[in-house]
Amino acid sequence: YEALPLDLLLIEGYKYAPYPKVVCLRDEQDRDLLSLPNVRAAFSLNPALSGCMKLSDRKSCVEWVEAFLKG
């Protein structure tokens, strides 16, 4: 992928890889994902989960990704 002009590449899996990652939480049982290495943020579609960004708030999610890319 080095030859492609990519700013961001989303890959599912590789939970234990050292890369910066965003986790997607479905419910409380997924909270253990927050202890994975190099977690930068948590997103969820579940409005009952606290402490993570709601994917329904697309503006905030996009702003977070843009800020992350800018460093």
Strand ranges inside the chain, DSSP E: 21-25, 39-44, 53-54
Does a structural domain hold residue 28?
yes
Q: Which residue range forms the structural domain that includes residue 25?
A: 21-70
pLDDT at site 6: 85
Q: Specify the pTM.
A: 0.78
Q: Is residue 42 domain-resident?
A: yes
Any bridge partners for residue 28, and if so which? none
- The span from the CA of 18 to the CA of 3, in Å, is 22
Structure confidence at residue 4 (pLDDT): 86
31 in any annotated domain: yes
In a domain, 25, yes or no: yes
What is the mean pLDDT of each successive set of 10 residues along the chain, which is 71 residues long?
82 90 93 94 92 93 92 84
48 lies in a domain? Answer: yes
